[in-house]
Amino acid sequence: MGQPQTAPLFEIEDLHVSVDPEGEGAPIELLRGVNLSVGAGEVHALMGPNGSGKSTLANALLGNPDYQVTSGRIRFKGEDITDWDADVRAKAGMFLAFQYPQEIPGVPVRSFLQQAMAARKGIADLSALETRLAIMEWMQRLDMDPSFADRYLNEGFSGGEKKRNEILQLAMLEPDLAILDETDSGLDIDALRIVAQGVQEVRRDRPDLGVLCITHYQRILELLAPDVVHILIDGRVVDEGGPELARRLEEEGYEAWQR
């Protein structure tokens, strides 16, 4: 007898998502039946031109209430999470690295991480000392200046510093699934390499971590080496394959899939 089939770590099934940009009760359908699954330990890339629905998908996956799932299902570790709130998804082990991380003046990085870790682990009295030691350890592994922990969250950070802070959060919160929403946006080659190396360092520590990298560019994929590349056009996944698909996109553009 063969081995029993196990559910993917993460699965999107025929997902339709609408948004009402003017708040006038006239929603526009942006995702038109997306199917995608990510297994434990796998790296997937989702690529598509502007307006294809990539950021809509990221927002829907993390439960942004402005994005309405009109049909289809989102499953995480075998559970239907389509109707779960964003904080419940995060506590369950889903993580989103934002394209444009928000600044939070007056809140040091270490304080934010302590609160986020307490919520993730369900420990109200999480030790500040243990948290700080863990932060210092990961900052060393990610080659970050220790003074970074005392700076206010994303305030005055460069683009690269904001993205490295996201990777620090990814390391500290120990999620099961990381969704990287255009985390390479606006980064130069050196900063991009640092971010990609940070993701790989976290994966070495957590080999079962599933990663969905949403991106415009092949550059970061050369460093992350995805197992599967998905192409999103006009709200649908129209093709998928290995890393060679990203290289073909780099050479040919999206025209072959937009006809």
Q: Is the pLDDT of residue 124 over 90?
A: no
Instruction: Indicate the SS3 state at residue 68.
Output: strand
In angstroms, how far is CA 101 from the centroid of its own chain?
12
Global confidence as pTM: 0.88
Q: What is the pLDDT of residues 225-258, one digit of tens each?
A: 899 999 999 999 999 999 889 888 888 888 888 7
Instruction: Indicate the SS3 state at residue 65.
Output: coil
State phi, psi for 258 to the nearest 5 degrees.
-100, 5
- Domain boundaries of the chain, sorted by first residue: 10-257
- Record the tokens describing residue 36, joined without a space: 């995608």
Q: Is the pLDDT of residue 46 over 70?
A: yes
Name the CATH superfamily for 10-257: P-loop containing nucleotide triphosphate hydrolases (3.40.50.300)
Residue 115, pLDDT score:
85
Residues belonging to the chain = 259
Q: What is the pLDDT of residues 138-176, one digit of tens each?
A: 988 888 888 888 888 877 777 777 888 888 888 988 999
15 and 60 in contact (C-beta within 8 Å)?
Answer: yes
**What is the band of 80 on the pLDDT scale with cuts at 50, 70, 90?**
very high
Which burial class, exposed, middle or buried, applies to 144 when counting CB atoms under 10 A from its CB (0-12, 13-18, 19+)?
Answer: buried
Distance CA 163, CA 81 (A): 27
The CA dihedral of 203, 207, 208, 209, to the nearest 10 degrees, is: 0
